Amino acid sequence: MKTKVLLALTMTVILSVTALAQEKDKRFAFEINGGLSVPTKEFVEGIRMGFGFEGTFQYRFMPHTSVYGGWGANWLSTESTNSENNMDYEETGYVLGLDFRHPIGDSKLLYYVRAGALYNHIETENAEGEILNDTKHGPGFQLAGGLDFNIGNNWSLTPGIKFNYLSRDTEYEGTPTQIDYQYIAVRIGIAKKF
């Protein structure tokens, strides 16, 4: 029994050292992205396209798989003929998930897919920027995919599409309300490996 355990440990160490010796890519990365957001559900009347951004750190723990975490913000607003009824919905919070990147053929072009958990909240603001409501932080999820274009010196352009979903119960003017805040975002980002 001891021989099998010793052999398994030796093989694990040899394979790990070999894998690390062949590793040329950097393990850490920082990415910032931003772009347009299109609501997929009308959680309030007159909701329209908005914008947002996100910054994440990544740690690659397998050849094509990383864990990522960061912070982001997204703004959607309503538009009505009466400007006093216009509201802004600001989603901010944290994301933590897995990122899988793989080369397309023999090129340096990569595709990526992501799945992550959100811990976000939604603030409702009036036209003057006054906060009328805050849902407090709660869970949601994010799905994303896109391309990674290597532009040299460990820099990449990272265009992609993501879907965020956050459902929060809140109270607005004494009435219990559920906000199903979901949108598709078209984002362009830049990443630096280090």
pLDDT tens per residue across span 64-115? 999 999 999 999 998 866 666 788 999 999 999 999 999 999 888 999 999 9
> Which pLDDT tens digit goes with each residue over 132-178?
899 999 999 999 999 999 999 999 999 999 999 999 988 877 788 88
Longest CA pairwise span in the chain (Å): 80
Please provide the DSSP assignment of 64-96 as one string: SEEEEEEEEEEEEEE--SSGGG--EEEEEEEEE
Distance in Å from the first CA to the final CA of the chain: 43
Tokens, residue 114: 């992501």
DSSP 128: T
Please name the helix (run of DSSP H) or strand (run of DSSP E) that holds residue 176, with its range, or none: strand 175-193
> What is the sign, positive or negative, of the torsion defined by CA atoms of 102, 104, 107, 108?
negative
Q: What's the pLDDT score for residue 117?
A: 98
Using CA atoms, how far residue 132 sits from 90, 93, 100, 126, 170, in Å, is: 11, 18, 39, 7, 11
Beta carbons within 8 Å of 137's beta carbon, 6+ residues apart: 93, 119, 120, 121
* Band (17; pLDDT cuts 50, 70, 90): very low
Kindly report the pTM of this predicted structure: 0.82
Q: Is the pLDDT of residue 21 over 50?
A: no
How far is residue 90's CA from residue 124's CA, in Å, rounded to a whole number? 7
Neighbours of 114 (CB within 10 A): 21
Distance CA 159, CA 150 (A): 12
Domains of the chain, start order: 26-193 (2.40.160.20)
Give the span between the Cα atoms of 95 and 191, in whole angstroms: 17
